[in-house]
């Protein structure tokens, strides 16, 4: 469990953030929104002007009671975007260094400090997509195998969907919203103003099985069936699927004679017309979840879209990346 409530003034930047999580948590937001400041405060690299930070039953910071546990005694591991190693030590010596600060009875990991919490500050930012997928799998194994909670910082919806839930969304040093991955992404205020290429939604469904004759995985959602190319997990497993707004087509009638396989029923929840030719249409899906479609304003007008109108969200199977399918419930 982590309980965080802190405020700090850094030049012209005012930071005031509070959240709680029973295990891991993802911090999402634009660059400069305060995510890395949170990492520094938990790690003890910054001292808040006001605040309380508690990890499990141990108080790391309490400014009213003048408690500030030094960084080397917090049992917190930090992973940055670039290598942060002692240049005078070998790779093995760097790996073994942290064990000096871990009690012998708590040295669960052969190489390393056996941290009680792992802070990861956009560790995959410099990697290509293939390497990202490989490292994400290793991070998941670390989380699940050693039961190490992770505070994961990213502005990538794909990474956040795989690593941790709940999600805390930052903007300008404050929390915009927090909650489960599939509820947070798709909400209007989370990605408002983002490029249409950056907006995504996260859907949660249960794997029905695989159509081996076509190599497709069938995922049940109350709003309809989601089809994924290739294997995406075992039957009965609940998974998350990331859908980009530019990959969603909207129809006001049940579609016929189309190659698109995934058709999800819902109602228009909001229409945000942006400057220029585009609009972001948020759809509340039948059962649960939201999905955002990036459309032209011409399409919105010609389809007669309005809040409350029943619609269908159409998604091409080839647009969904099966490599990023993540088990839900983390």
Per-residue pLDDT tens for 66-118?
999 999 888 898 887 766 777 888 877 777 776 666 666 666 666 576 788 99
Q: Read off the pLDDT of residues 251-283 as tens digits, 9 standing for 90 and up.
A: 999 999 999 999 999 999 999 887 689 999 999
CATH number, domain of 88, equals 3.40.50.300
Sheet order of strands, 2-10 included = 13-21, 2-10, 50-55, 58-62, 67-68
Span 7-26, average pLDDT: 94
What total number of domains does the chain contain? 2
Say if 191 falls within a structural domain. Answer: no
How far is residue 135 CA from its own chain's centroid?
15
Segments forming the whole domain that contains residue 36: 2-179
- Using DSSP, state whether 30 is helix, strand or coil: coil
Q: Can you tell me the mean pLDDT for 294-315?
A: 97
Q: Which of 147, 179, 211 is the last residue of a domain?
A: 179
* Chain Cα centroid distance, residue 86: 31
Same domain, 174 and 222: no
What span, in angstroms and rounded, lies between the C-alpha atoms of 25 and 255?
A: 39
My answer on whether 86 and 137 are in the same domain is: yes
Q: State the pLDDT at residue 294.
A: 93
Distance CA 28, CA 327 (A): 19
Torsion of CA 121, 177, 55, 202, to 10 degrees: -60
Query: Does residue 192 lie in a domain region?
Result: no
Assess whether 101 and 135 both reside in one domain. Answer: yes
DSSP symbol at 149: -
Whether residue 154 is found in the same domain as residue 267: no
For residues 136 and 150, what is the distance between their CA atoms, to the nearest angstrom?
Answer: 12
Does 151 share its domain with 293?
A: no
Check pLDDT > 90 for residue 247: yes
Same domain, 137 and 237: no
Q: Tell me if residue 145 falls in helix, strand or coil.
A: helix
What is each CA distance from 244 to 19, 36, 119, 129, 232, in whole angstroms? 27, 26, 27, 16, 18
């Amino acid at each position: 469990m982590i309980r965080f409530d802190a405020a700090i003034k850094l030049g012209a930047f005012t930071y005031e953030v509070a959240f709680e999580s029973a295990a891991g948590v993802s911090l999402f937001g634009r660059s400069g929104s305060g995510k890395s400041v949170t990492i520094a405060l938990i790690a003890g690299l910054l001292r808040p002007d006001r605040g309380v930070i508690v990890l499990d039953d141990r108080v790391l910071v309490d400014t009213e009671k003048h408690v500030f546990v030094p960084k080397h005694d917090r049992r917190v591991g930090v992973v940055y975007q670039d290598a942060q190693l002692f240049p005078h030590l070998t790779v093995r010596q760097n790996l073994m260094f942290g064990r000096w600060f871990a009690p012998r009875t708590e040295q669960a990991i052969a190489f390393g400090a056996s941290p009680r919490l792992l802070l990861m500050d956009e560790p995959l930012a410099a990697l290509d997509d293939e390497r990202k997928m490989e490292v994400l799998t290793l991070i998941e194994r670390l989380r699940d195998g050693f039961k190490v909670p992770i505070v994961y910082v990213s502005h990538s919806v794909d990474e956040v969907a795989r690593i941790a839930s709940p999600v805390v969304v930052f903007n300008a040093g404050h929390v915009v919203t927090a909650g489960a991955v599939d509820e947070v992404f798709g909400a209007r205020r989370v990605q408002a103003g983002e490029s249409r290429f950056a907006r995504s939604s996260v859907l949660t469904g249960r794997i029905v099985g695989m159509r081996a004759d076509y190599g497709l995985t069938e995922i049940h959602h109350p709003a309809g069936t989601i089809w994924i190319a290739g294997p995406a997990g075992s039957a009965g497993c609940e998974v998350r699927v990331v859908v980009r707004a530019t990959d969603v087509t909207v129809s006001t009638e049940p579609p016929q004679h189309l190659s698109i396989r995934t058709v999800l029923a819902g109602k228009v929840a909001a229409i945000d017309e942006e400057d220029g030719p585009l609009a972001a249409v948020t759809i509340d899906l039948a059962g649960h979840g939201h999905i955002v479609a990036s459309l032209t304003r011409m399409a919105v007008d010609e389809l007669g879209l309005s809040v409350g109108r029943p619609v269908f969200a159409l998604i091409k199977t080839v647009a969904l990346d099966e490599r990023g399918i993540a088990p839900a419930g983390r």
